């Protein structure tokens, strides 16, 4: 859904969308969107900027950040972000936005694609570490074996002798 900011009939519009995965603009390796994404919220038009307060719910399949096994992930989060045109982004307005404690995105036109905004917010949310389980052992650094499934036979061998002095350190618990 594209919103033309200069043609809004009211200073606030509410929206409730289901966005097909291909319209999100997500091009992240190891992330698959399984169902249309639910995106609801309100777009508030201010004098020089617009603010979106939104809630996003998505069902994804992602890869564990340690062992790369696919895992289901239900995202359900809220966000608030300000959008301002590059020509309107002055030091004074940056200060005003900082006072309101808003994250700011600079836009290059007076049109906003809410599907792309949903995709951007999902990308931001996926920057947090995602693991299949807290004690995931990950992959062997040498052979790539999933250490959750089996131990590998890689030889640890002697380490770099320059680090040997660290083995003498006694750590109190």
Query: What DSSP letter does each residue of 89-148 carry, written as one string?
Result: --HHHHHHHHHTT-EEEEESSSEEEHHHHHHHHHHHHTTS---SSTT---B-TTT--BTT
Strands 31-33 and 49-63: antiparallel
Q: Assign 78 a pLDDT band (cuts: 50, 70, 90).
A: very high
Please indicate, yes or no, if residue 153 is contained in any of the structural domains. Answer: no
User: Looking at residue 36, what DSSP letter applies?
Assistant: P
| pLDDT score recorded for residue 124 | 92
Work out how many domains the chain is built from and give that number. Answer: 1
Please indicate, yes or no, if residue 164 is contained in any of the structural domains. Answer: no
Q: Residue 118 and residue 63: Cα distance in Å, rounded?
A: 21
Mean pLDDT of 132-149: 93
Please indicate, yes or no, if residue 147 is contained in any of the structural domains. Answer: no
Mean pLDDT of 24-46: 92
Residue 142 has pLDDT above 90, yes or no: no
Please indicate, yes or no, if residue 9 is contained in any of the structural domains. Answer: yes
Q: What is the mean pLDDT of the chain?
A: 85
Contact in structure between 130 and 61 (CB atoms under 8 Å): no
Evaluate the CA torsion angle 68, 70, 76, 80 in order and state its sign.
positive
Contact in structure between 71 and 61 (CB atoms under 8 Å): yes
Residue 106 has pLDDT above 80, yes or no: no
Please indicate, yes or no, if residue 82 is contained in any of the structural domains. Answer: yes
Please indicate, yes or no, if residue 52 is contained in any of the structural domains. Answer: yes
Please indicate, yes or no, if residue 32 is contained in any of the structural domains. Answer: yes
Please indicate, yes or no, if residue 167 is contained in any of the structural domains. Answer: no
Question: By residue range, what is the domain housing residue 100?
Answer: 2-125
| pLDDT score recorded for residue 45 | 84
| pLDDT score recorded for residue 61 | 96
């Amino acid at each position: 859904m594209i919103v033309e900011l200069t043609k809004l009939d009211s200073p606030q519009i509410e929206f409730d969308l289901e966005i097909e995965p291909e319209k999100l603009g997500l091009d992240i390796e190891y992330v698959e969107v399984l169902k249309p994404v639910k995106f609801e919220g309100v777009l508030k038009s201010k004098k020089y900027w617009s603010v979106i307060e939104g809630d996003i719910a998505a069902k994804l399949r992602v890869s564990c950040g340690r062992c790369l096994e696919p895992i289901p992930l239900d995202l359900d989060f809220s966000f608030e972000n300000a959008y301002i045109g590059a020509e309107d982004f002055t030091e004074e307005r940056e200060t005003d936005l900082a006072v309101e404690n808003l994250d700011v995105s600079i836009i290059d036109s007076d049109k906003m694609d809410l599907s792309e905004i949903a995709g951007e917010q999902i990308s931001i949310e996926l920057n947090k570490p995602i693991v299949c389980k807290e004690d995931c052992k990950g992959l062997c650094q040498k052979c790539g074996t999933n250490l959750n499934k089996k131990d590998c036979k890689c030889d640890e061998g002697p380490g770099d002798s320059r680090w040997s002095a660290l083995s003498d350190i006694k750590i109190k618990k």
